[in-house]
Structure 1
């Protein structure tokens, strides 16, 4: 599997310096863990509160910024088969929300950002935690396994 990653950083913070190679490693590890074999493309945008709020309201009807929004590709399967590389979709990650949640949850900014990137990638691949408890448990278990491969603790345990 080969991954093509586009990155837009309209918001940056010295508390969370992101390198393309690191982001690619996280997404590749996530995709390999769920046995994705085909070459893929993903877009990642790091945004501020205003942009996240606007998109969250427009696409989810929620009047606030959020940590990560996932926009899966809607290409039909037959189109995906003729492409050299399948676009799995785009992620929009709100850096100020991620930083605030990391502080509230006593996590490092990098650990929480990594969790949100894994979480969003799984959403792009069709995993969901809002439709049923079983789906939520499956998605959380995958996140924990992937993050462990990346050297991070279980994000769902209470941090001291």
Structure 2
């Protein structure tokens, strides 16, 4: 099955994981979750920038793993995904999963958000988690929601 076209901007404000996240891998993870063509910017940031963005746009004064700024859902998905390198690295360590797998999960998660998926209500969370698990399995990545 062919995947939708993707125009990707990949930015490393925090360069610590640049070698781990080559463009072709980031494209692969996002394309796996895209249902329509996309124009997506991915920015890897430090905790200071992540905290500032989370505070400004969500009113939460801490750095979070991924922020999705979605601008359009169709005919082209337009979004910015901001991932905080320090938070992603800590979470991967705490969960005992490979760092690249956790990045893949968060890129899929953010891409689904960019297309209107949500996880605020329990039934929406179940649907979104099932979709993430299915996409990640197709990428050869273990279910991130399975209890370890």
**Same-fold call, TM cutoff 0.5:** yes
Q: CA RMSD in A?
A: 1.7
- The verdict on how the C-alpha distance between 1:98 and 1:16 changes in structure 2, with shifts beyond 3 A counting, is farther
Offset of residue 87 of structure 1 = 4.7
Offset of residue 17 of structure 1 = 1.4
- The verdict on how the C-alpha distance between 1:50 and 1:29 changes in structure 2, with shifts beyond 3 A counting, is same
Q: TM-score, normalised by structure 2?
A: 0.92
- The verdict on how the C-alpha distance between 1:123 and 1:110 changes in structure 2, with shifts beyond 3 A counting, is same
Give the aligned length: 145
2:139 matched to 1:150?
Answer: yes
Offset of residue 14 of structure 1 = 5.2
What does residue 107 of structure 2 align with?
Answer: 117
Gaps of 5+ in 1: 81-85
Q: TM-score, normalised by structure 1?
A: 0.85
Q: Say which one has the larger Rg.
A: 1
Query: Partners in 2 of 1:97 and 1:16 — Cα distance?
Result: 18
Determine if contact 1:5/1:44 at 8 Å carries over to the other structure. Answer: yes
Deviation larger for 15-24 or 135-144: 15-24
What does residue 60 of structure 1 align with?
Answer: 58
Secondary structure of the residue that 2:16 maps to in structure 1?
A: coil
Query: Partners in 1 of 2:106 and 2:72 — Cα distance?
Result: 22
Equivalent in 11, 15, 32 of residue 8 of structure 1: 11
